[in-house]
Structure 1
């Protein structure tokens, strides 16, 4: 039996999360729940008062259930109210009637090779010549250069006047592709727009939050310190990412190396950095003599909160830092007030507060990983530590007759090996609860995480301290320069010396990460596909096994085996379903002609335009669908020559290629066609490269009872011109650029 009394907020947080999840699955089908929640709340208060006066156990239990039901309904209602698309003045209500709109930039600007990307919040729209209030978020992209002129990056607080209507976010266009539309919706952004520089004008500067505007400016100022003192480009990029969370200059190769070794968290300013500051502050305060009494506890709490929130402020008040700051703030306050009954309750209070503020945090990957990692560390790490008594083993090797130097050596060895064992236990404990999410979201698991973290995390943690010291020194010398410029200039060698140490430490852990990747190339297990139900089953296995080891009852082991059997059965059934699945895929990849032939666990990907796929095209457009199918054999072919699928070109230099595969015949047309007396029997016609072909010729060659597919190499103006002509002749059309991939199964 679970004793809930010490974990009151754990059950309340679980009830709140259940209500939020209910909205995610059933929200569109539910009416406004505010009235129902009000009724349940009044009923709960009545039963609670009655149970208090009568001291009836049944009424007390009923009051407890009603309390959980109230919190459950509150979670559902909060999520309803936080969903902007439900509002009457949302952009969805205006559709394409919008002529102009006013919006304010309210997010960081992401610098890409060719564009700037940011989010704007709409203030008003003009429809039929009249302005009216509106709400909604739009993810916008603008080119960095236009007619050889460099376009200024959008700044937080810029108010724009934009011509034209935004379009609803597109769903995934290829099998298994990342659902960017859902990701944006979780952040209350439902529209996207590519804006040319002549399509918008900045009309004012009015930040939604002046505090955040100053915070972001402070972060950029501190970034300038690293840019000044850290000279190597890669080391500067990592320094800014490690201490300030600014990752604009981190190259893709570095990001991939850290992802492959399970150390991506080093580059994200979140719980690691805030925890390091919290630990350093607590250690410094522990050195103060006479550290007892309520006054010292209060002073400790105030200083701890000041340090954490100052760091959150100078790093731009990003979501990940705010989440970690709130978590540690609850821990600090709980310690200061003496109300920290258990760490689980304290974490539940932090999660409860964050979810009440933004219910959509529940589906945020960072939120999930942060809280699961901390919970796992709190519960699992002490139990892993009991496996080995490292400290006792080396202390027992000391003998009274040994020289003092030898005894000190044993003591230092004991401390060092125990610290390594603690770090090992912590890393293992964090993985226990987070690896299912890693499989679900990232489709990979780095076996080298232990070797990577044991060295890289301590060095990077030290680098965080050194980087903060560099910023403090530069700030102090800059302040001194206001009254004594000459003295400040003479002292500039001090931050330069610290910056040299800082750059060396960053170089060391970065080189270590890359070396681990080179020495252990097979340590990354990738291409793993688990569905959401399978992920829940894995979590169920973990929880039941932990319960078994704690309770020592076979019933829990039996339940774990049953869940594991359900997981294996689900995998076997999915493989059985896949075995007989065959289909032809016309991919939606901008300006490309690519098709895939899927047959069970094998796939042949043909680049019809005979051009190789770039890494982003392969990684983000093709591979997710192959992972979902758990494809074991994948071959890529540039052009039809050498492909396993037979294809013939009807005439030299002709624009017609006929492909036959498992009963399907597909015609790929890229040039004008000659007339034919008898229509060619094909299953599908694919138009490529804006083929200069007449609708009548297509009807004459292939007949009218045929489907025409425009692949991604066709421009929008071409599709808009050709589609109506083909439809007038009775032919069906499909545009993969706007409608997503096209799939057809062989005839049975």
Structure 2
């Protein structure tokens, strides 16, 4: 028996892998690559010539050569498609105009995210005015506008005239922080701007896609149905997220509870909901008598496609639903063709088409998780189920002399436990493939995922059906209302009853999720830092172990041990490299003054303004850096008490002097009127718009220290004082604009 893959059965898998390799090549080395369109033409011509030669030779070697050249052509095409899809390469991209833009015209091209104080959305630019002249331009801008009285939420298709120039997206402001700039770039958005109400005006309505505009309005109308019939705020928010994918009103506590229990996918309308709809249509069609022949297959395929694409339309044609709809479309078409098709090939075709449409989907976390989970389920679930014959075990408990009631009980028990085992196997199979991504992106792994999903997924799945039924019933009542208002008012009790059932189901699985989180508080392993190479290593270990289980050859087990050794070695090397590392970090946190004293895997985080950090500030600003350094001893101090850092207050003018590892730091928040004596320091931190002047700073500290404007300083204050200091010869750093500032201690070893 050969231990090689028979690629003939996985033709599109091979091509899709080549396409992905080309996309990754451009993502990592794109700036070094020349224009690739000519390379694609050359590779295709070379493949055509090799295919013609192979047809004449009719030898396996010739056919293999043609196949390799086909893979090469797809590889080059993947890099070329990514290059073509990179909008910033355009000659009239916003990057080319810099800060010279006086006005620009743009259209709202995305959903509007409702935040506590702002609306956020994406606009696509069509023209800019530079030096009084309008000219065509392209580019995406992530904009925010305040939620003030009288300010309407942006609507998809609104055309705006905006005054001012957008700024390039900011890099992460603190160590380890989520790289929002890169996330935006993967969506072809390279600029950001906060727009005040007097800076823009809606001048027209021209949706980039009228179909999507209608779909988004439809989703909002359906959201109004849930708002009408689901009265509890938390249950309404979950209802809208579960069925329509609208998560504007889901509170942070609920999001965190679902993340901690590994059930976030329940709130994301994607493969789960589309799969449930596909399953319902398939089940209904299976009830039809005489279901045979090509005609029935065609009719069932058309009904299945109509069902999933109608649902995609009702949810506003969001990206996650479209991705799932495309995946199931290929599955339906493959089944309707009546051919014996390989499921991996079917999934590969779906991924290939999606990546040809948008190569940057490969960077989308949802795309990665969806396809990996489905592939893992297709391959692993049947094998895991085969470990235990649950149904057979309980059916074998039946005996001829047992009563009918007892035999019925054994049958129902076997059916119930077999379904539980099937669901368990599905959850385990999905986790095997998505495990490395969970560590890499979310830095945590919920050990309670099995218990959480085993109950929450079935209940939430039934809730999806009930929610869709509520929408359908309300639609019927509304239709009747067009002809008879009185009859519609009488029949309105039906959606009210369904709404009560729907709300109770959502309450039930939501309470279960919170109970799991409280019952198993230690089941969440968090603070895990995995680099991209380490994530690839984990994937490789999983694949090699699966190969060992399938082939039973010790060589695979030996390779897995080698890979595990490499992973352990990389972790030990990283820990050894960080052990002697000492850093003084001034964090960039809006309206706060925060400094971290780092020594290897230990740190003291001090809030100079004496107010403790909020949970949100810690989670998104500080914790990512802690995870990155794999810190084990981190202490938070409101003010300087207990920080073990020597501080001195020479007067009452708001001056604080701190010394750490030879670095002398002055925190200035007052006038410095009483600090006229020279005080040599290495860093001066200006806080809360400290009323100081260059000559005062020079008299007290000299011109050697670096001047830092911390995040408690207003933008007008920095804009007025920073140029004066720079002209006088000081080095300055603005934490709000430039991000965290890191200073190595004087006594640090060379090279650290």
The TM-score, its normalising length taken from structure 1, stands at 0.98
Does 1:51 pair with 2:70? no
For 2:676 and 2:690, locate their aligned partners in 1 and report how far apart those are by CA, in whole Å.
Answer: 21
Judge conservation of contact 1:676–1:700 (CA < 8 Å) in 2.
Answer: no
Q: 2:77 aligns with which of 42, 67, 74?
A: 74
Judge conservation of contact 2:682–2:704 (CA < 8 Å) in 1.
Answer: no
Judge conservation of contact 2:590–2:711 (CA < 8 Å) in 1.
Answer: yes
Q: 1:65 aligns with which of 46, 65, 68?
A: 68
For 2:150 and 2:256, locate their aligned partners in 1 and report how far apart those are by CA, in whole Å.
Answer: 29
Q: Tell me the equivalent position of 1:732.
A: 731
Judge conservation of contact 1:270–1:324 (CA < 8 Å) in 2.
Answer: yes
Corresponding residue SS for 2:143 = strand
Deviations 1:124-170 (A, max 9, x none): 1111111111110000000011xxx2311110000000000000000
Q: Tell me the equivalent position of 1:100.
A: 103
Does 1:153 pair with 2:174? no
For 1:694 and 1:306, locate their aligned partners in 2 and report how far apart those are by CA, in whole Å.
Answer: 70
- 51-60 or 21-30, which moves further after superposition? 51-60
For 2:276 and 2:696, locate their aligned partners in 1 and report how far apart those are by CA, in whole Å.
Answer: 71
Q: Tell me the equivalent position of 2:91.
A: 88
Corresponding residue SS for 1:160 = strand
Aligned length: 744
For 1:726 and 1:497, locate their aligned partners in 2 and report how far apart those are by CA, in whole Å.
Answer: 69
Structure 1 residue 339: deviation in Å?
3.5
- Sort the Cα spacing of 1:659 and 1:340 in 2 relative to 1 into closer, same or farther, 3 A: farther
Judge conservation of contact 1:175–1:625 (CA < 8 Å) in 2.
Answer: yes
Q: Tell me the equivalent position of 1:587.
A: 587
Q: Tell me the equivalent position of 1:379.
A: 379
Q: 1:34 aligns with which of 26, 37, 57?
A: 37
Structure 1 residue 656: deviation in Å?
1.4
Structure 1 residue 340: deviation in Å?
4.7
For 2:685 and 2:240, locate their aligned partners in 1 and report how far apart those are by CA, in whole Å.
Answer: 48
Judge conservation of contact 1:331–1:340 (CA < 8 Å) in 2.
Answer: no
For 1:397 and 1:597, locate their aligned partners in 2 and report how far apart those are by CA, in whole Å.
Answer: 66
Does 1:710 pair with 2:713? no
Deviations 1:457-500 (A, max 9, x none): 00000000011111111111111111222222111111111111
Corresponding residue SS for 1:171 = coil
For 2:117 and 2:706, locate their aligned partners in 1 and report how far apart those are by CA, in whole Å.
Answer: 36
Structure 1 residue 84: deviation in Å?
0.3
Aligned pairs for 1:310-709 within 5 A: 310-651=310-651, 653-674=652-673, 679-709=678-708
Question: Which consecutive unaligned segments of at least 5 residues does structure 2 have?
Answer: 748-752
- Sort the Cα spacing of 1:675 and 1:512 in 2 relative to 1 into closer, same or farther, 3 A: closer
Judge conservation of contact 1:708–1:734 (CA < 8 Å) in 2.
Answer: yes
Structure 1 residue 674: deviation in Å?
4.3
Judge conservation of contact 1:675–1:701 (CA < 8 Å) in 2.
Answer: no
Aligned pairs for 1:251-262 within 5 A: 251-262=251-262
Structure 1 residue 681: deviation in Å?
2.7
Judge conservation of contact 1:655–1:673 (CA < 8 Å) in 2.
Answer: yes
Q: Tell me the equivalent position of 2:750.
A: none
Aligned pairs for 1:153-302 within 5 A: 153-302=153-302
For 1:676 and 1:160, locate their aligned partners in 2 and report how far apart those are by CA, in whole Å.
Answer: 52
For 1:56 and 1:262, locate their aligned partners in 2 and report how far apart those are by CA, in whole Å.
Answer: 53
Corresponding residue SS for 1:2 = coil
For 1:345 and 1:417, locate their aligned partners in 2 and report how far apart those are by CA, in whole Å.
Answer: 32
Structure 1 residue 709: deviation in Å?
1.3
Deviations 1:400-421 (A, max 9, x none): 1111111111000000000000
Structure 1 residue 654: deviation in Å?
2.2
Structure 1 residue 190: deviation in Å?
0.4
The TM-score, its normalising length taken from structure 2, stands at 0.98
Judge conservation of contact 2:655–2:669 (CA < 8 Å) in 1.
Answer: yes
Structure 1 residue 338: deviation in Å?
2.2
Judge conservation of contact 1:340–1:346 (CA < 8 Å) in 2.
Answer: no
Judge conservation of contact 1:438–1:444 (CA < 8 Å) in 2.
Answer: yes
Judge conservation of contact 2:580–2:599 (CA < 8 Å) in 1.
Answer: yes
Corresponding residue SS for 2:190 = strand
Deviations 1:292-312 (A, max 9, x none): 100000001000000000000
- 77-86 or 667-676, which moves further after superposition? 667-676
Structure 1 residue 704: deviation in Å?
1.6
Deviations 1:201-260 (A, max 9, x none): 000011000000000011111111111111111111111110111111111111111111
Corresponding residue SS for 1:476 = helix
Corresponding residue SS for 1:399 = coil
For 1:57 and 1:520, locate their aligned partners in 2 and report how far apart those are by CA, in whole Å.
Answer: 59
Corresponding residue SS for 1:189 = coil
Deviations 1:564-610 (A, max 9, x none): 11000000011101110000000011111100001111111000011
